[in-house]
Amino acid sequence: MNIILGATGHVGSAVANTLLKQGEPIIIITHNPQKASEWEQKGAQAAVVDVHDGDGLKRIFRQGKRLFLLNPPAAPSTDIVAEERKNITAILGALDGSGLEKIVAESTYGAQSGDLIGDLGVLYKMEQGLARMSIPTTIIRAAYYMSNWDASLQTAQQEGKVHALYPADFKLPMVAPDDIGQFAARFLTEPAEKTGLHYVEGPETYSPTDVAAAFALALNKPVEAVTTSREQWAPTLKQMGFSDKAAESMANMTLITVEKRYLQPDLPDRGATSLLSYIADVVAKSKKEK
C-alpha cells in the first residue's frame, strides 16, 4: 500500500493520480473531509488527520509500506518557516516505529542549511532528519514548479502582463507537476533498497519572458514580463498578504536563486512537459471552467 501525504496540491495529486492509473493501491492523508471524499470516488482510500497529530499519523503510516512525503505548505500570512518546521517535526516523530519500508520525499533545488530562506532551509532540515532514520529514502529535489505561474493567468488576460520577482531574462529550471508525479511513482514502486538523490526538471530552462510568451501564444494576445525590483520584493509580497517573516523568507530564497548560490546538477532527471504545453493546458482548462 502506498501512502500519499500532501495529495491535495499539484504535485501530490499528480503522484496519486499516476499511481491510481497504474493500478497501485493508495491511501490519501488529508485534513479535509471533502477532499477525502473526492479521492475515495477516484478509487483511493482516504484518512482524515491533522499533520500535527503524531499518533494519528503513525496509525496511518502503519497501514502501508511506501510513503510519498510532501511537507504541507503553511499559509503565507503566517511565519511559514516556523509553521512548516513544526510539520516536519511532527512527521518525523510519526515515522519513528512506523514500519514503513521506503519513503520518497519531495524537496527542492537549492535545499541548504539556513534560517529565513523559506523552503530551502525547511526542506533541507527534512532531508537531514530523514537521513538519520533507518527507513530507506529517495529524495526528489524538484525544480521551480511550472504551476507557480498558474496565478499569472489572470494578469495575463486582464493586463497583458506576467509579474515576476526574477529578472525578465533570467533562465531557471522548471518542471511540471505531472512529470514529478511520474518520477515519484516510479521511485515508490522500485525495490526498497533502490534509493538516492534525484534532481528533477523539465526539458529546458525558462525565463519570465518565456512564460509571458507562452501565455501570449495560448491567449492569442500580447503579454509581457514585468520584473519587480529587488528592493520591492518584500513590500510587494506583504501587499499580497505575506507576513513580515514570510516575505523576508521568500525574498531571501529568491535572491539565492537569482545569484545561483546552490548546487546545479550536471545530469538531472528530465520530464517531457514543455512550458508551452503546460501553459496551453492551464489556459484551456480555465476556458472549460467558464
pLDDT digits (tens, 9 = 90+) for 199-226: 999 999 999 999 999 999 999 999 999 9
Residue 256 maps to a domain = no
Q: At what angle do helices 275-289 and 208-219 cross, to 10 degrees?
A: 40
Residue 231 maps to a domain = no
The rounded distance, in Å, linking the Cα atoms of 227 and 229 is: 6
What percentage of the chain reaches a pLDDT higher than 70?
100
Contact 173, 110 (CB under 8 A): no
Whichever domain contains 180, its CATH number is 3.40.50.720
Residue 68 maps to a domain = yes
Residue 39 maps to a domain = yes
- Structurally, how many domains does the chain consist of? 1
Continuous H helices in 47-197: 54-61, 80-95, 119-131, 152-158, 177-189
Spell 193-213 as b/e; 16+ CB within 10 A means b: eebeebbbbbbeebbbbbbbb
Task: Give the pLDDT of residue 250.
Answer: 97
**Closest by Cα among 209, 246, 257, 231 to 79:** 246
Q: What is the dihedral of CA 62, 184, 279, 158, to 10 degrees?
A: 30
**Closest by Cα among 197, 200, 198, 201 to 171:** 201
Task: Give the pLDDT of residue 8.
Answer: 82
**Closest by Cα among 135, 149, 145, 3 to 68:** 3
For residue 163, the cross-strand partners are 226
- The domain of 114 spans 2-146+175-203+265-272
Residue 107 maps to a domain = yes
Per-residue pLDDT tens for 108-147? Answer: 999 999 999 999 999 999 999 999 999 999 999 999 999 9
The pTM of the full predicted model, rounded to 2 decimals, is 0.96
Backbone angles phi, psi at 155, to 5 degrees: -70, -30
Residue 134 maps to a domain = yes
Task: Give the pLDDT of residue 6.
Answer: 86
Residue 224 maps to a domain = no
Residue 242 maps to a domain = no
